[in-house]
Amino acid sequence: MQERKLPPVALARPVLGAAAAVLAIAAATATAQRIAPLNQDRHSPVVRVFDTARGAVVNISTTRMVDTRSRFFGFDDLPDDVFLLPGLLPGTPVNSLGSGFVIHPAGYVVTNEHVIRKADEITVILADGTSHPAAVISTDTTHDLAVLQVDLPDGAALPALPLGRSDDLMIGETVIAIGNPKGYRHSVTSGVVSALNRDLRFGNNVQYTGLIQTDASINPGNSGGPLLNVNAEVIGINTAIRPDAQGIGFAISVDNFRQLLPRLLDYRRIHRVQLGLEFGEERTAGAPGRPIVTALADDGPAGRAGVQIGDVIEAMDDQPVATVADLYVCMLQKSAGDTVAVRVRRGGGVRELRLTVEGRPRPDGEALARRVMGAALMEVTGDLARRYRLPLARGLVVTEVDPGSAAAATGLQPRDVLFEIGQSRVATLDDIALALEDLPAGAAIRIGVARGNVRAWTVLRTAPPDDEPRPREREYH
């Protein structure tokens, strides 16, 4: 029987098809091998920092009424945004935008004071787009800093940014800014450290010192946002630009902020509780770390519980204490009489201790103002402001000035309205009590006064002590 031959074409098609498939796979593999390192190369330090930090950066929206015309928002020489902005007519409702970042998972956010100044409502927009109301915990007008607490659902926690160091910054070092410029949420820019220890003055009343200068693109709305190093650590708080130049931005150094943090989160002043100890930050090879006890009050809660000088606080109520901020936030949630479980590291061992929180009496603001300043003050209400045509609807109005007093020497008059004292805004008698309670005799303190259409800042000098100077009592936490 003759052998049957298959048509050549019947074999040729599958062979060619298989060859094509092999070639396609080889080409795809080669392309993938080329693309993989390319994508890896594209994952730059800036990309990594943004991926790491974006969840802890927030946008801040405020609503308020502008009551004066100025080329800056707010006060003539105390800009509410140190970016140059057009003037607004009195009575204009304004929605301002700014930035901030989370320093503690419990919802504590840092921003610039001028971002939230005079705000009637504050809203924080998180990275996931959700909006939450926020309350002001504390402000420092002198250093343009504020701490907010976001109103979160029970059990919710936010990612927080670690604080780095600014004392070892290098000129030319890469820095990254994340913020809300012109309302464009979570915009990232990068640049370098252009210079260190810059000073900047606005008008006659605001001066920033020790600023970080950067050429990273900083725009209106970036105020309060973080300036980060390539390790995604905060090394500055974006604050200002030169409006007459390009590529010149400024940030408050994180070391300056770290020094002010105890006051901004001072549970003794804010929540009126205390433990009877002093503490600093444990120094490590990297950023400063856990709180370390440096002094103890006689018969204070900490001393009675067995805390010793040199103890390093590692946890409170089973929550890790990695930074001083962790300790402050824990204590902000405590009331007098509460028990706190504290774990301390001592030598090579660990001790578990239980402390009972003590209350700190709140001083009488009206009596304290009369004694220290020599002025009678009353809280301004909307009705009071309308009836007497006061210059501000919030603050403390002077009703009487004692002859020969510090207030008289400063030039205060009845119907003047105090809106700021020291580093804080004042609207209630409790506010002024907190501002004056630790002021020693003979001290000088800056006050903000509104009279008619004028707002001015002056220095009030308290009466000198009657007897020989005595060592000031230690202030225990």
The residue from 264, 290, 307 where one domain ends is 264
pLDDT of res. 39: 61
Q: Residue 132: pLDDT band by 50, 70, 90 thresholds?
A: very high
Predicted confidence band of residue 173 (pLDDT cuts 50, 70, 90): very high
Q: What is the pLDDT of residue 65?
A: 57
The whole domain housing 102 covers 44-264
305 and 273 part of one domain = yes
Q: Are 239 and 112 a contacting pair, CB within 8 Å?
A: yes
Do residue 193 and residue 302 come from a single domain? no
* Whether residue 142 is found in the same domain as residue 97: yes
Check 223, 253, 405, 424 and give the catalytic one: 223
> Does residue 13 sit within a domain?
no
Tally of structural domains, the chain? 3
* Domain end position, chosen among 231, 264, 297: 264
Give the tens place of pLDDT for each residue, 414-456: 999 998 887 677 888 888 888 887 777 777 788 889 998 888 8
**61, 80, 114, 190: which one is catalytic?**
114
Q: Is residue 472 part of a domain?
A: no
- The helix/strand/coil state of 34 is helix
pLDDT tops 60 at residue 74: no
The CATH number covering residue 111 comes to 2.40.10.120
Q: Strand, coil or helix: what is 46?
A: helix
The arithmetic mean of pLDDT across residues 253-270, rounded, is 80
In a domain, 22, yes or no: no
pLDDT at 109: 94
Looking at the domain assignment, is residue 33 inside a domain? no
Known catalytic membership, residue 477: no
Residue 95 located in a structural domain: yes
In a domain, 78, yes or no: yes
Please indicate, yes or no, if residue 18 is contained in any of the structural domains: no
Q: Residue 291 falls within a domain, yes or no?
A: yes
Q: For position 76, what pLDDT does the model report? A: 35
> What tens digit of pLDDT does each residue of 83-127 get?
333 444 445 566 778 899 999 888 899 999 888 877 778 999 999
Give the Cα separation of 153 and 430 in Å (integer). Answer: 29
Catalytic-labelled residue, pool 81, 144, 416, 431: 144
What is the structure's pLDDT at 181?
A: 83
Q: Quote the CA–CA distance of 106 and 326 in Å, as a whole number.
A: 9
pLDDT at 471: 46
Same domain, 281 and 424: no
- C-alpha dist (Å) from residue 371 to 307, 403, 433, 470: 37, 13, 11, 19
- Tell whether the model's pLDDT for residue 249 goes beyond 60: yes
pLDDT at 468 over 60: no
Q: Tell me phi and psi for residue 255, to 5 degrees.
A: -65, -40
| Active site annotation includes 43 | no
Please determine, for residue 226, whether its predicted confidence score (pLDDT) is greater than 90: yes
Compare 451 and 330 and report the one with higher pLDDT.
451
15-24, 120-129, 198-207, 239-248 — which one is most confidently predicted on average? 120-129
Q: What are the helix (H) ranges across 221-338?
A: 254-264, 267-270, 301-305, 324-332
pLDDT at 124: 93
Q: Is the pLDDT of residue 81 over 50?
A: no
Q: Which of 112-121, 180-189, 368-377, 428-437 has the highest mean pLDDT?
A: 368-377
Same domain for 219 and 253: yes
Q: To the nearest whole percent, how much of the chain has pLDDT over 90?
A: 24
Predicted confidence at residue 88, as pLDDT, reads: 42
Q: How many angstroms separate the CA atoms of 218 and 83, rounded?
A: 10
Cβ contacts of 154 within 8 Å, gap of 6 or more = none
H/E element, 53:
helix 45-53
Q: Which amino acid is at 4?
A: R
Residue 463 CA to residue 216 CA, distance in Å, equals: 48
Q: What global pTM score does this model have?
A: 0.69
Domain boundary among 317, 335, 359: 359
| Mean pLDDT score across all residues of the chain | 79
Kindly state the helix (H) or strand (E) to which residue 29 belongs, with its residue range. Answer: helix 8-42
- In this structure, what CATH number is given to the domain that contains residue 301? 2.30.42.10
281 has pLDDT over 50: yes
Residue 316: is its pLDDT beyond 50? yes
Alpha-carbon span 222 to 179, nearest angstrom: 5
Q: Same domain, yes or no, for 176 and 121?
A: yes
Give me the helix-helix angle, 254-264 and 324-332, nearest 10°.
20
Residue 97: predicted pLDDT? 82
Q: Are residues 291 and 325 in the same domain?
A: yes
Handedness of CA 239, 243, 246, 248 (dihedral sign): negative
